[in-house]
Amino acid sequence: MEIVLLTALGVGGATVIGACIGFLFKNISHKFSDIVLSFAAGVMLAAAILGLILPAVEYGGKWGIPIAVIGIFLGALSLNLVDKLVPHLHKLMGADTEPHKNADLNKVLLFVLAIGIHNLPEGLAAGVGFGSGNTAQALTIAGGIALQNIPEGMVIIGPMLAAGVSPKRTFLIAAATGLVEVAGTFIGYFAVSISSVILPFALAFAGGTMLYVISDEMIPE
């Protein structure tokens, strides 16, 4: 349980670390952020397949492949439905959200909301990973997610400051998006701890959400 707690804090804290970097270097180039993001996408892709999807097939027994397919599909579909309500991150992270004096506060806050909403299933994936009992794989999954959170935390800061949000409130909002991920980690961990029957489906579902984030948000960005 202690390692789950530390991992949850680490995953959520990565956003705070990124926010601190954003305060120190307000004019971080979009190219540098994309390099970090693409590296994180590679780590998350490996973690999703090796740490979530393949174990889902293994723990599912003779029904492993159907359960994995259904879980992946529903995981991706759930985030697709979220995207119908909240604009895609890679669109919000484009040129329109670069710091400038006439930044639209509503759009900036929508951008932050989108990050917060997408952080929940990522936290779930980290928590579910520990339910498999393979701590090494779970830490790999959490590490990939944490790497992705750093550039997300970085890009939150500039637009909010440019939109007139105070530095203190900007930091608190950025930290709040990380807390969403902490909550998701515990929800995922306790869900599979209560019932091992749902473990194969939960692993596949988490893998589907990660694949969706990688293919629909991170790689396009």
Burial zone of 67 (CB within 10 Å; 0-12 exposed, 13-18 middle, 19+ buried): buried
* Three-class DSSP category at 208: helix
How far is the C-alpha of 117 from the C-alpha of 114, rounded, in Å? 5
Q: What local confidence, expressed as pLDDT, does residue 68 receive?
A: 93
Tell me the per-residue pLDDT of 54-112, one tens digit each, with 9 for 90 and over.
888 988 888 999 999 999 999 889 888 877 776 555 554 454 444 444 445 666 666 67
How far is the C-alpha of 65 from the C-alpha of 50, rounded, in Å? 15
Q: What local confidence, expressed as pLDDT, does residue 106 receive?
A: 62
221 residues of the chain, pLDDT tens digit each: 677 888 888 888 888 888 888 888 766 666 776 777 777 778 778 878 887 888 889 888 889 999 999 999 998 898 888 777 765 555 544 544 444 444 456 666 666 776 777 677 778 878 887 766 777 777 887 887 888 788 778 777 777 777 777 888 888 888 888 888 888 888 888 877 776 678 888 888 888 888 888 888 777 76
Q: What local confidence, expressed as pLDDT, does residue 69 receive?
A: 95
Q: What local confidence, expressed as pLDDT, does residue 29 receive?
A: 65
CB 165 within 8 A of CB 105: yes
**Beta-carbon neighbour count of residue 221 at 10 Å?**
20
Side chain identity, residue 75: G
> What secondary structure letter does DSSP report for 86?
S
Tokens 């951008």, located at residue = 111
88 Ramachandran zone, left/alpha/beta (phi>0; psi -120 to 50):
beta
133 Ramachandran zone, left/alpha/beta (phi>0; psi -120 to 50):
left
